Amino acid sequence: MTKDVTRDQWYPVALARQVTPAGRESLLLGEKIRIFADAGGFPAVTDGHGRALPVLIRFNHVWTTLGTPAKDLFTIPDAEAPGRRLVDVGVVRVRCSPLRAVENFLDIAHFPFVHTDILGSEPHTEVERYEVAIREDVDEVWATKVQFYQPQAAKSAAGGITTEYEYRVPHPTCSVLYKTCPPRPGEWDVICLFVQPLTETLCDVWPWMALYDDVSSLTEMIHFQQMIFLQDRSILENQIPPLLPLDPGMEIPTRADLTSVAYRRWLKRLGYSYGAQLVAA
């Protein structure tokens, strides 16, 4: 079988606990798929011809693939530590490129303007220098030593703090964010964005979190994350051009965009162009 970097990936398609025998139709890379619970109650996925697709349950989500992934789906060891609360935030559909959704998640500079008085505030708008690398051993993009002043960094935060972030892109349409955990200094909160590419300009986003927070209810944590993500949604739907340009062109990156630059470079090297455009914008 020929290698196809787009099809040979695991993609999230459902919350494991929400799969029903009646099932649900969806799309993956423009192809019809069906997600349902089989006779034994286990999640199953079929393609448009009724062919059974491989299924993997990880991070409380159902993952499938149209191809033959060369490697296992990434893991998040921090998320498995005991005492963390796993938050299934649920799906949100966005009319944008799956890659734009990931790129927005990697951006810090928009916090004061879009997530005003929560993840950022004026005049604390400066993004300090941070480090970005494509880690060759694991083939992932990492941004480290990211610092930002946040009025309410998490549901569990009382008052403003300078939050530290690490961003990780282990998959073309998934990103993992590690950030200062307000009630437990020294530990990281884990916040993930798993993106299901429906088409090149339409995606289902499955945010997921593994947090230390003994005070907030699960619903409060879900609402906090949905509030943040829905503040981004209308902006994502209005980005131009809709496809993510992988070549430098009309979009002029600044120092604050180092992670985005590395992400685009990594996608290009990988040959992952679904939801991207290769000619200069």
- Which residues bind to another protein, rule: CB under 8 A? 15, 18, 88-93, 95, 113-114, 116, 204, 217-220, 222-223, 226-231, 233-234, 237
Looking at beta carbons only, is 236 or 276 nearer to another protein? 236
Q: 241: which 2 tokens?
A: 């051009």
164 phi/psi in degrees, rounded to 5: -105, 140
Quick one: how far is CA 33 from the chain centroid?
A: 21
Show the 3-state SS of the chain. CCCCCCCCCCEEEEEHHHCCCCCEEEEECCEEEEEEECCCCCEEEEECCCCEECEEEECCEEEECCCCCCCCCCCCHHHHCCCCEEEECCCEEECCCHHHHHHHHHCCCCHHHHCECCCECCCCCCCCCCEEEEECCCCEEEEEEEEEEECCCCCCCCCCEEEEEEEEEEECCEEEEEEECCCCCCCEEEEEEEEEEEECCEEEEEEEEEECCCCCCHHHHHHHHHHHHHHHHHHHCCCCCCCEECCCCCCCCCHHHHHHHHHHHHHHHHCCCCCEECCCC
Least distance to another protein, CB of residue 156, Å = 15
* In the complex, least distance from residue 204 CB atom to another protein, rounded to whole angstroms: 8
Q: 157 or 267, CB closer to another protein?
A: 157
- Residue 93: how many other CB atoms lie within 10 Å: 12
Residue number with CB closer to another protein (123 or 185): 123
Identity of the residue, 144 or 201, whose beta carbon is nearer to another protein in the bound complex: 201
CB of 86 or CB of 134, closer to another protein: 86
For residue 149, the minimal CB distance to another protein (Å) is: 18
Minimal distance in Å, beta carbon 196 to another protein? 11
Q: How far is the CB of 227 from another protein (least distance, A)?
A: 5
* Shortest Cβ 32–another protein spacing (Å): 15
Of the pair 139, 214, the CB lying nearest another protein is at 214
If the CB atoms of residues 147 and 239 are measured against another protein, the closer one turns out to be 239
CB of 116 to another protein, least distance (A): 7
